[in-house]
Amino acid sequence: MKMGMTEKQYSMKEAMLFSQRIAQLSKALWKSIEKDWQQWIKPFDLNINEHHILWIAYHLNGASISDVAKFGVMHVSTAFNFSKKLEERGLLTFSKKENDKRNTYIQITAEGEDILLQLMETYEPNGNAVFSGALPLRELYGKFPDIVEMMAIVRNIYGEDFMEIFERSFHNIENEFTEENGKLKKASKNEQELA
């Protein structure tokens, strides 16, 4: 008997196996990512949420706390509380907009940007387990995995605007940074215009 457009095109076993495979792989991957991320930012006395907030503030150039929560995949209170800590350290400023008194906005300070840029300069790929794990694929195929399917899943969960911000941050790095002596450096305005 046909059920029409609502008929499911998968079995329960298939659905459960997919969900559990993604869950277990994601947990294993996150554990490794979390360890590497914490080690990378530790010398700057930041935690992962604080670093992520600085990253978002830098790339959005004036983000609301709601934007930070959405794009940082964290609760609004988490975004606010960690942003407040960054403000106390002089790495962010808070403001309200004349035409939007309901939302609180953050802006990265020069000191916050300096720390973020130092972090980018100190990034060491060989100390990153996910990078090291993907390196044999790059050697085999000549490029790192595109992870297109994972991006499609995230797009379907979080929406197009999430992916637009995600892509913008990487586009910014591509256009605003250069590599000198094996380290990332912010390019001069002239270098950025040539990119």
Mean pLDDT (the chain) is: 90
Decide: 50 and 68 in contact? Cβ < 8 Å.
no
Sequence-separated (6 or more) residues with CB below 8 Å from residue 119? 40, 41, 44, 51
In this prediction the pTM is 0.85
Does the pLDDT at position 142 exceed 90? yes
Residue type, 43: P
What is the percent of the chain with per-residue pLDDT over 70, rounded to a whole number? 93
Strands (E), 62-187: 63-64, 92-97, 100-108, 177-180, 183-186
- 66-96 pLDDT, tens digit per residue, is 999 999 999 999 999 999 999 999 999 999 8
Q: What are phi and psi of 113, to 5 degrees?
A: -65, -40
pLDDT for the residue 1: 45
Report all structural domains of the chain as residue ranges with CATH numbers, in order of start.
32-194 (1.10.10.10)
- Angle at alpha carbon of residue 57, lines to 56 and 62, rounded to 5°: 130
The helix/strand/coil state of 179 is: strand
Task: Decide if pLDDT at 2 tops 60.
Answer: no
pLDDT, one tens digit per residue, over 20-70 is 999 999 999 999 999 999 999 999 999 999 999 999 999 998 899 999 999
Judge contact between 120 and 55, C-beta under 8 A. Answer: no
Can you give the pLDDT at residue 195? 52
